[in-house]
Structure 1
Amino acid sequence: MKIFGEAFKQIDKKETDMFVTGADIRYYQPIHKNLIFAARFATSSSFGRAKLIYYLGGIDNWINLSSKTPTFNNEIRIDPEVNYVYQAVATNLRGFQQNISNGTNFAVVNAEIRWPVIAYLYNRPINNDFLRHLQLIGFFDIGSAWSGLSPFSGDNAYENDYYDNYPVTIIIHNDNFPIVSGYGFGIRSKVFGYFLRADWAWGVENNVIQPQMFYL
């Protein structure tokens, strides 16, 4: 379990005061032999005159091999009236690009079933590094990023659609549900001494299953 608090301040500028709090809690439960259920809850908030913006979606150190799907979703609006001075990616939320939602707060829950296939089936020493560490994964992620007291506070720029027709701007509330989820399966192992992971995920937004995404 990790609980943290941080404060940032430029000595000569009061408007740069920023405070960040958060927690990262993990739980592991053996199911049978070395078949394991793993769960994680992570959350963080920033406040003060300057703020940190969290972009929800994706995984840490994502190597995006798709030319059709950008890593970052530029279609989701960022509130231009908030003084964001730092940014961070809120992970894991598989099934989406980075910035499926954003704000000064985020919370995610990750649940995985981890099955080390070869080590589970063969009760003997395994010399091959790849086979010894080979795992099949089933996972479910759920989370939100928001500004205000809660994801349902209505203070998020991404909850509105903007149509600019100078000198008039039309703002329409889009009624998007602020909590998204994703599910799928993956493979883990060691290759040449490096731990590699590959995930295939489907996001769920507004009760609609999104196209499959690949994470490496």
Structure 2
Amino acid sequence: MGADFRHYQVIHRNLIWANRFAASSSFGGSRLIYYLGSVDNWINLSSKVSTFDNSVRIDDQAKYAYQTVATNMRGFTQNVRNGNNFAVINSEIRWPFIKYFSRYPNSSNFWSSLQAVGFFDVGSAWTGLTPFSGGNAYDYDIIPREQSQGPITIYVDSNRSPIVYGFGYGLRAQLLGYFMRFDWAWGVEKNVILPRIFYFSLSTDF
């Protein structure tokens, strides 16, 4: 069960403020797990950035039947947070600067579609009634028995907030029949601005 609401506000001429709220919840015997992070159809061109964050725990006791990525959550790779619920808010300023200043129609799809974007994303993926219910696997890190050198498994509070956010800028353009998106984003976690991540994707904006 999910919802996706969008609103577009004209600021001046072709300058647009676009906003989106999306949320979904999966329940029942064949639940879906949402991996929060990145953008739709991300083509990762960097060997230094992994597409999926394996450091964030996933509940291996939950019987998830399906999986999907919850986007947009720029500034992070996939699985910055996870669970059978997710919610995101995306806010963008879109400025087709060539079209904005041009006095005449442009026959080139590339130049007429070229736009600069500034954005802010905030969201969460969680297990339980709310993100703060305490049912998230990523709330704790596990020290296995082998590493603890004892007969017990140790659970350590990960100090992860269920809510994360990111910000950045990007470019959009139509080229060879494809709508291309280029985004540069910084994620913020534990009040620390993380290293910038570049996203190249072939998908339309919301």
Paired residue for 2:204? Answer: none
Residue pairs, 1:31-50, within 5 angstroms:
31-50=11-30
Q: Does 1:102 align with 2:82?
A: yes
In 2, the alpha carbon distance for the partners of 1:50 and 1:162 equals 26
Identity of aligned residues (%): 59
The Cα RMSD (Å) is: 0.8
The amino acid of 2:59's aligned partner reads D
Residue pairs, 1:63-212, within 5 angstroms:
63-166=43-146, 167-212=151-196
Unpaired stretches in structure 1, ≥5 consecutive residues = 1-20
Paired residue for 1:213? Answer: 197
Instruction: Tell me the TM-score normalized by structure 1.
Output: 0.89
- Residues 139-158 of structure 1: CA deviation (Å, up to 9, x unaligned): 00000000001111110011
Unpaired stretches in structure 2, ≥5 consecutive residues = 201-206
Instruction: Tell me the TM-score normalized by structure 2.
Output: 0.93
C-alpha deviation, 1:76, in angstroms: 0.9
Aligned partner of residue 195 in structure 2, secondary structure: strand
In 2, the alpha carbon distance for the partners of 1:123 and 1:35 equals 15
> Any runs of at least 4 consecutive aligned residues in structure 1 with deviations exceeding 2 A, and if so which?
none
Structure with the largest fraction of strand: 1
In 1, the alpha carbon distance for the partners of 2:133 and 2:23 equals 17
C-alpha deviation, 1:52, in angstroms: 0.5
